[in-house]
Amino acid sequence: MKIQVKDAIADILKKEGTEIVFGHTGGHVMHMWEAIKKIGLKMILNKQEGNAVYMADGYTRSTNKPGIIVGTSGPGVQNMVTGLASAYADSIPLIVIGASVATFAAGRNALQESSGRGQAVEQRLIFRACCKQAMTAPSPDAVPDIIRDAFRTAFSGRKGPVFIEIPNNFWNLEIEYEEIDPTNYKNVNLPSCKQEDCIQIINALYNADHPMIVIGDGYDIFEDKKHLQNFLYKLEIPYAVSSQAKNYVDERSPRYLGGLRYHGKKIRAYEYMQKSDLILFLGDRMSQWELDWDYDREVLGNAVLAQIDPDSSEIGRMYPVKYSAVGSVSSFISFANINNKHKNSQKLIDEVNELKSKIPFQNRNEDSKKGINPLNLIRVVEDYSDGSANIVFDTGFTGSMGIQKFRLKDQQKFIHSEKNSPMGYSLPAAIGCNIGTNNETICFVGDGSMQMTLNELGTALNYGSKIIIIIQSNGGLASIRRFMTFVFGHQCQTEFVNPDFIKLAQSYNMKGYQVKTTVEFETAFKEAKKSKTSVIIDAIVDQDIMVWE
Ligand SMILES: Cc1ncc(C[n+]2csc(CCOP(=O)(O)OP(=O)(O)O)c2C)c(N)n1
Ligand SMILES: [Mg+2]
């Protein structure tokens, strides 16, 4: 069948299950938008392309559907770098359909040049560095194949973002197009572990006196969590998680030790690790943020390590491991076929309980004259949020506190850009979650991070998204302020005066509250739940309250 390049792309997007496309427009890429409109996909016009990537990332994490972003040649796609680098680090499958200048204009100092000739950016190379794959369509005929390749690459193995650029003179050319069902060009199942490797690991777990399990990041992100929860439930061994794996486990289980984030000294899971004789890392990449700032292995004590990962190049990459299996976590759990609890299960639970009494998940603490105890923000939201809510955390103190202290309930989802940790991720990501799921969406963000991407309030306004934004206001970049003071005894470049967030909310037709006590916050949060529009709660927190024990 004869069809224009842009329509072939739109058709493949639709066949791949795309429902929404995020991004921005421009002369080089408007043709693509026209085709997306024609085929009937929902379109979100962001305020800036970088935010579009965060929004698509939040959308994908909360829905497991493909996150697609469209942007124009030059500044349009250049704006996307941080979002793509963040998705790459966390293995989030996104696809960018970008434009490049027309093949006849390349090298002629064209508007928004992308060819690398003369003194122009070689656009594709930027994305080679921050995506799993970056491709330029070499001819109009090659475009369908390239788009299919992008989906195959983004969703197979360790997932990640893929960048494609289409020269501006290709969009409207006619090509011969053959419709192909995605199952005919892509099988994204992860490899299965070898049974004997799994049995060896299970035997080691049963034989250990003081084992623990760490469940890891986004690799198996779309796998069945009931399978994993059942495994943990039957085995009765204490466990901890990386931030992305918070979504897979029962965070209210008595055996749960908490989310791992290297921030503060008294962390339950670290104390438990010190006594462990075997730690099994299930799809976890043992990252610096999670475990060990200085790579001196201190936090892991004398434990023997076992590791399961679908990517053989991850095995033993951070620390030597005694036991390993290469394959999906699901296949390991199937082979493990657990029927008996661990011999020391009672003793291990007693120990976890003792740790929890010494280091509680959190109490509602006293506020101070300077503001709210930040932990209480989490406590109130834990108490009153819907069981299906998306809980989105930005970076800074807010993010570390969320990973360690927030415990999800029911079907709640924890959304956080962990490894690249970009300030400003949470607001656009939260809008993406809300657009994708229609569920209650709560965005925890520091006042510094809020001001990196607050222009997306305009997108929330335009598309009627309803999110509750909780700004942890401490008048600065408190996490860096504390770090700097610790290192130098003084600080600079970490303080600022905030704008009036209530007026900001009003200007976007949203409600705004400023709260200075936990009681006020609780009232505002309950009001926000009833609101038909997005709400900003400017929560004045006491930055000196140490939430890390
Ligand atoms: C884009 C970006 N720039 C700089 C940083 C480094 N950084 C990490 S946390 C932080 C401060 C965050 O401030 P805020 O959002 O107000 O949170 P707080 O620490 O005050 O709770 C900075 C500057 C970063 N993570 N991302
Ligand atoms: Mg701050």
The ligand 1 atom nearest the CA atom of 447: 16
CA-wise closest residue to 324 among 339, 313, 340, 338: 313
Ligand 1 contacts CB of residue 395 (under 6 A): yes
Whether 357 shows a pLDDT value over 70: the answer reads yes
Tokens of 411: 């079907």
Is pLDDT at 439 greater than 60 in this prediction? yes
Question: Quick check: 254 pLDDT over 80?
Answer: yes
| CA 46 – ligand 1 centroid, Å | 23
The answer to whether residue 221 scores a pLDDT higher than 70 is no
Residue type at 439?
Answer: N
Cite the DSSP H helix spans in 182-260.
195-207, 225-235
pLDDT at 312: 92
Query: Among the atoms of ligand 1, which is closest to the Cα of residue 448?
Result: 16
What is the average pLDDT across 481-493? 92
What separation in Å is there between the alpha carbon of 86 and the centre of ligand 2?
Answer: 21
pLDDT tens for residues 42-91?
A: 999 999 999 999 999 999 999 999 999 999 999 999 999 999 999 999 99
| 3-state SS track over 51-116 | HHHHHHHHHHHHHCCCEEEEECCCHHHHCCHHHHHHHHHCCCCEEEEEEECCCCCCCCCCCCCCEC
Pocket flag, ligand 1, residue 417 (CB < 6 Å): no
Contact 155, 218 (CB under 8 A): no
Q: CA 290, CA 244: separation in Å to the nearest integer?
A: 11
Q: Give the angle subtended at the CA of 384 by the CAs of 379 and 390, to the nearest 5°.
A: 90
pLDDT digits (tens, 9 = 90+) for 304-330: 999 999 899 999 999 999 999 999 998
The average confidence (pLDDT) of the chain is: 94
pTM confidence score? 0.97
Supply the pLDDT for residue 106: 94
Task: Tell me the residue type at 198.
Answer: C
Give the 3-state secondary structure of residue 238: coil
Nearest protein CA to atom 11 of ligand 1, as residue: 477
| Percent of the chain whose predicted confidence (pLDDT) is above 90 | 83
Residue closest by Cα to atom 8 of ligand 1: 396
Smallest CA-to-CA distance from 166 within 35, 65, 14, 2 is with: 35
> Residue 218 contacts by C-beta under 8 Å, 6 or more apart in sequence?
90, 91, 92, 159, 244
In 3D space, the residue among 95, 61, 81, 44 whose CA is nearest the CA of residue 429 turns out to be 61
Centre of ligand 2 from the C-alpha of residue 399, in Å:
11
- 219 and 245 Cβ atoms separated by less than 8 Å: no
DSSP string, 407-446: ---TT-EEE---SS--TT-HHHHHHHHHHHH-S-EEEEEE
DSSP 371: B
Give residue 389 CA to ligand 2 midpoint distance, Å: 24
Facing residues of 540 across strands? Answer: 473
C-alpha 298 to ligand 2 mean position (Å): 30
| Cα angle 449-284-158, degrees, rounded to a multiple of 5 | 85
Mutation to probe ligand 1, out of 395, 447, 495 (largest number of atoms < 8 A from CB)? 395
Compute the C-alpha angle 291/389/214, nearest 5°: 20
87 lines ligand 1 (CB under 6 A): no
CA of 457 to the centre of ligand 2 (A): 19
For residue 259, the model assigns a pLDDT of 92
Name the amino acid, one letter, at 199: I
> Does the pLDDT of residue 222 top 70, yes or no?
no
Residue 158 in this model has a pLDDT that exceeds 70: yes
- In DSSP terms, which residues pair with 441 in a beta bridge? 390, 467
Residues near ion ligand 2 (Cβ under 5 Å) = 446-448, 474, 478
Residue 536 has a pLDDT of 98
Q: Is 406 helix (H, G, I), strand (E, B) or coil?
A: coil
- Average pLDDT of the residues in 453-464: 98
Q: Is 446 in the pocket of ligand 1 (CB under 6 A)?
A: yes
List, in sequence order, every beta strand (DSSP E) within 466-530: 467-473, 511-515
Would the pLDDT of 394 be above 90?
Answer: yes
User: Contact at 8 Å (CB) between 5 and 182?
Assistant: no
Task: Enumerate residues 6+ apart whose C-beta is below 8 A from 347.
Answer: none
Question: Quick one: pLDDT at residue 486?
Answer: 87
CB of 474 within 6 A of ligand 1: the answer is yes
Q: How far is the CA of 397 from the centre of ligand 1 (A)?
A: 8
With cut-offs at 50, 70 and 90, classify the pLDDT of residue 368: confident
Residues 235, 229: Cα–Cα separation, whole Å = 10
Look at residues 514, 507, 508 and name the one whose alpha carbon lies nearest to residue 528.
514
Ligand 2 centroid to residue 397 C-alpha, Å = 8
Residue nearest to atom 6 of ligand 1 (CA): 423
Distances 414 to 61, 247, 284, 391 between C-alpha atoms, Å: 9, 6, 17, 5
Instruction: Please give the full DSSP string across 450-476, using - where no structure is assigned.
Output: HHHHGGGHHHHHHHT--EEEEEEE-SB
**What mean pLDDT do residues 219-244 have?**
85
**pLDDT category, 205, cuts 50, 70, 90?**
very high
360: number of Cβ within 10 Å:
11
pLDDT of residue 358: 81
| Closest atom of ligand 1 relative to the 394 alpha carbon | 15
Q: Does the C-beta of 473 come closer than 6 Å to ligand 1?
A: no
Q: Is the CB of 26 under 6 A from ligand 1?
A: no
| DSSP element (H, E) containing 536 | strand 535-540
**Residue 471: band (very low, low, confident or very high) from pLDDT cuts 50, 70, 90:** very high
Nearest of 258, 157, 252, 247 to residue 213 by alpha carbon: 258
Give Rg (Cα) of the chain.
Answer: 24
How many Å apart are CA 483 and CA 476, to the nearest integer?
Answer: 13
Cβ(396) – ligand 1 distance below 6 Å = yes
Q: Is 451 in the pocket of ligand 1 (CB under 6 A)?
A: no
Residue 362 confidence (pLDDT) = 67
Work out which ligand 1 atom sits closest to the CA atom of 445: 15
Residues ≥6 apart with Cβ < 8 Å to 514:
501, 502, 537, 538, 540
* Torsion from C-alpha of 130, 136, 142, 145, nearest 10 degrees: 10
User: Which atom of ligand 1 sits closest to the CA of residue 397?
Assistant: 21
